[in-house]
Structure 1
């Protein structure tokens, strides 16, 4: 009967397209298929689809040979909600799962060093430390820009990723102490061959290899008040209570998050505290030696995310830092998480209301075009309006504009509701407007005569 039924069934018109979403992770999880042939992952289909879409768009702007990887984790359950092992299977190294590749983290481990220093009572956020040339048994670290700031607060040193203060703290803490905490957190540090099994002070600046999964574990722990546990990839494991290792106390974790959340905003983005909708992201960037790896890792609310940008073959990409190459995508991911989580909580199944079968198209909500500066236009020369000042005007976007000139906010007058800029000197100025969704527009203008 079944044979007759099969013979009578219509033949398919063509080969069905293979769903390649979460390709690398699906291939890995397939190794643990149960008897019924089903593996249910913790990935959220909406978030995974949007993350892959954003990764492809972002990768299209990268130089030839460059690719990226990313992860998003629910820190409450350690469930991985999105994972992209490579921006495209067609890119060089695209078949490799770069979330599991060992790479130098650059400065991405600095928050853990600072948290441990706070926990041990070696220092606090307001402790003043010297950012001056120093030698540690022949090791003389320099800051990324090769300049030194003198006396700085530790919070400022972490926000600006100063190298000497981080190495100084690690010298007091002990590199082996940090290595032990990382190992207890589930991180498998890979030391350079020449270093043997000993970890030195270079650990503060990326002197040992880790994977993206390691960083996702650590930053999920930072979001979870310092409690670290293994990542969860299968739904059946999500409810299990895993033993958590306490890297440092919830107080120390909160201090680190507050410091990172107040770091200088990226160019073109308003600080989250000035936006009604942008999530407040506590993040740290990292750039490995020779510009081989660009990292950004952070937390916002109950989620942690990590982005890596580089070449699969480890070749240098001069000038491509974590702040420039990875941080913008990280902040985009947290915007996506906030938007998707508002529509329906992540990790919950979406039920069909009627009928036995429901088919839905997953798509990003439509967004308005970004704002446009109406006055002053890019490239124009203007004259100051004297005491009246220059009225700034924009259109489009999501409204609720916030203005900056030269990086400083421009106040909105209570009477007129308009942003009025009063130049204090002639010269060139960058004018930036940001809408409530965090999107921006920029104009470079010349003031010929200030009033």
Structure 2
């Protein structure tokens, strides 16, 4: 029957060719099936490498592909093996069909097929059979119509998109990723030959299930390529010694949480390009798995690494792995979970205090029992150290000094600075209290990394971007450049974890109340990173301290990022680098300053300029009301005028952009305003 079918097909085609006018109308009237099939959604890294893919609706892997993405050797082999006159015929090769019929009649069986690559594409598009005469006629008609409406390159692209390669692998990209673990751009001759052989019998020749059949089919392709001079004898011989894959490879599942997030943000996009670096992401996911190994069930970890110059997120690890979903809640993206930040906000409090002229790194501050109404903060270890420098208080992460500074600043100003950094702090109650300085609010790891990126950038907020090509918001001032540098300098002198290299990072650790969250945030001259460890359900982790379990992960993450740190920037020109005894009198000792921002009660006020003012020129006159002279005027944290009793102080701003003007009076009250000039 098959011989009769072939014979009938060739007669019909020859007859149709003779009746040219009717034949043209017959082909032109062909209804084409859809040629734009659904393809797997792809999430790619900054260089276009696959991070994660998603199967199409029927559970198949089918990735979009262009000929430019395929090794030319595979294209040449396919055409030489399947359809040598592909570039010459119009969809049906009458010579090949005639030869196939003659061979079938002579040998009593089908020796060779007459199907062209275009006919195979027609069969794949309609999923039609190969044996029935009606199916062959339909494929021939559709092939002729395809050739009239598509180019040869487009037809080959359809083949490489739809060809079956065994199991749920459809298309050449799914095949090379599934069998070889790489894209089809560069293939060995043995790999290319296997890919030519597989679609002829995708299940019978699957190398992971039928190794000997796959090997024999591949070698037949190599032999024919050798005979057709597509490859030389030496190449063919070497290719025969290359083994076929013994098993299917898993498709990459990197940055899984970020990939899902991208899909939710743009559900109709076929491709999502992220700023993530695939190699770094893989290394940090392995680090995350190691970090929780042997630490008991339900402990999870999250990491974020970014370039603080551009705001690009280079790696985002939301958990210890999706494979740990049952024991460690691996499906929860802990980079976005609201948690108590512990002591990680202290650097911002000190930077704001430096900005407003409340303190200097060498200012002495009292670490002794204190009560603010009903609130009596305690240091983590329950000890008191008396007078210490502000620098030492930050390095030791003392609680009482930072609460004193927060009380002087006003908790609302701390919350405003957090929002300027791009964070979205969450409070359970109404107005913020002094406990926010010690972690009494909700923050995400992304929020904290963004905050530390601002400190690394001289106090200018840098919005983190994880989608490639997304426009970043203009930088907004969080603190002045001098204050940001002073904080970074202090943090860079904190001793690293045991075994970690010195002089690597400006970093800070934190531990939330009840040992529920362990944090470590740090940066060098180029990159910023954050680490969180804890249990996603919020239950305590006894004995977990940020300095003991999170800081080592942070330092290892930086070592996996690059071989050596990039130096922090030098101090800004206005930085005041003096010993305590050389400081202006109001900055030598910090004194409690209740309500210095209230007006109408004799407290110091800055009448002009108002906070946030935009000035036309370089010169501005600071006008004061109330307060106790003499006054000290600071520009970006550096004393500009000291010991003056004047209440109208002319100032020449140094450059375009933002500047912070601060005034401290004899009683220690302070006021400040951020101004901007074009």
Mark yes or no: TM-score above 0.5: yes
For the Cα contact (< 8 Å) 1:46–1:340, is it kept in 2? no
The equivalent of 1:21 in structure 2 is 254
The 3-state SS of whatever aligns with 1:152 is strand
Residue in 2 aligned with 1:305?
A: 529
Pick from 274, 277, 298 the counterpart of residue 44 of structure 1: 277
Question: What is the CA deviation profile of residues 262-311 of structure 1, one whole-angstrom value per residue up to 9, with x for unaligned ones?
Answer: 01332344533xxxxxxx20011110000000000011121110000000
Say how many residue pairs are matched. Answer: 330
**Aligned residue for 2:455?**
222
Change in 2 beyond 3 A, CA 1:255/1:10: farther
The change in CA–CA distance for 1:61 and 1:108 in structure 2 (over 3 A counts) is same
Q: Where does residue 334 of structure 1 map in the other structure?
A: 558
Q: Counterparts of 2:514 and 2:122 in 1: how far apart (Å)?
A: 64
Q: Which residue of the partner structure matches residue 265 of structure 1?
A: 496
* 1:11 and 2:197 are equivalent in the alignment: no
3-state SS in 1 of match to 2:354: helix
Q: Which residue of 2 aligns with 1:171?
A: 407
Q: Secondary structure at the match of 1:227?
A: coil
Give the corresponding residue for 1:100.
Answer: 336
Q: Secondary structure at the match of 1:20?
A: coil
1:65 equivalent to 2:295? Answer no
Is the 1:47–1:340 contact (alpha carbons within 8 Å) kept by the matching residues of 2? no
2-structure distance, mates of 1:36, 1:326? 36
Report Cα offsets for 1:236-274 as digits up to 9, x if no partner. 12xx352111111111111111100101332344533xx
Any idea what SS the aligned residue of 2:338 has?
coil
Contact 1:185 1:228 in 2 (8 A): yes
SS at match of 2:343: coil
Alignment of 1:131-150 (within 5 A): 131-150=367-386
Q: CA deviation at 1:11?
A: 2.1
Cα contact 2:285–2:321 (8 A) shared by 1? no
Q: Which residue matches 2:13? A: none
After TM superposition, list the pairs within 5 Å mapping 1:228-267 onto structure 2.
228-237=461-470, 240-267=471-498
Is the partner of 2:454 in helix, strand or coil?
Answer: helix
Choose which of 424, 435, 441 in structure 2 pairs with 1:208. 441
Please state which structure has a larger fraction of its residues in strand.
1
Q: Say yes or no: does 1:53 pair with 2:282.
A: no
Q: 1:77 to 1:131 in 2, by over 3 A?
A: same
Which structure has greater helix proportion?
Answer: 2
Measured in 2, the distance between the counterparts of 1:45 and 1:268 equals 27
Cα offset for 1:148?
0.8
Q: Over the residues paired in the alignment, what is the CA RMSD in angstroms? A: 1.9
Is 1:185 the counterpart of 2:421? The answer is yes
Which structure has the larger Rg?
Answer: 2
Gaps in structure 1 of 5+ consecutive residues: 273-279, 343-451
Q: What's the CA shift string for 1:171-198, capped at 9, x where partnerless? A: 0000001111112222211113xxx221
Measured in 1, the distance between the counterparts of 2:200 and 2:527 equals 48
Alpha-carbon distance in structure 1 between the residues aligned to 2:531 and 2:562 = 17
Aligned to 2:543: 319
Q: Name the CA distance, whole Å, in 2 between partners of 1:108 and 1:118.
A: 17
Q: Which moved more, 1:93-102 or 1:180-189?
A: 180-189
Greater mean alpha carbon deviation, residues 141-150 or residues 332-341: 332-341
Q: Supply the distance in 2 between the matched residues of 1:217 and 1:322 (Cα, whole angstroms).
A: 19
Matches of 2:330 and 2:422, distance apart in 1 = 27
Where does 1:352-371 land on structure 2 (aligned, <5 Å)? Answer: none
1:31 to 264, 275, 288: 264
**Aligned positions of 1:407-426 closer than 5 A:** none
TM-score, reference length from structure 1: 0.70
Contact 1:300/1:334 (8 A) holds in 2: no
Who is 2:345 aligned against?
109
Greater relative CO, 1 or 2 (CA 8 Å, sep 6+):
1
Q: Distance in 2 between matches of 1:286 and 1:171?
A: 21
Instruction: Give, in angstroms, the shift of residue 231 of structure 1.
Output: 1.1
> Which one is further off, 97-106 or 180-189?
180-189
Distance 1:136 1:169 in 2: 12
Return the alpha-carbon distance in structure 2 between the equivalents of residues 68 and 264 of structure 1.
Answer: 23
Cα gap change, 1:116/1:61 in structure 2, threshold over 3 Å: closer, same or farther?
same
Deviation for aligned residue 1:88: 1.9
Take 2:255 and 2:289, find their aligned partners in 1: how far apart are those partners? 13
Provide TM-score, normalisation by structure 2: 0.47
TM-fit CA distance, 1:36: 6.3
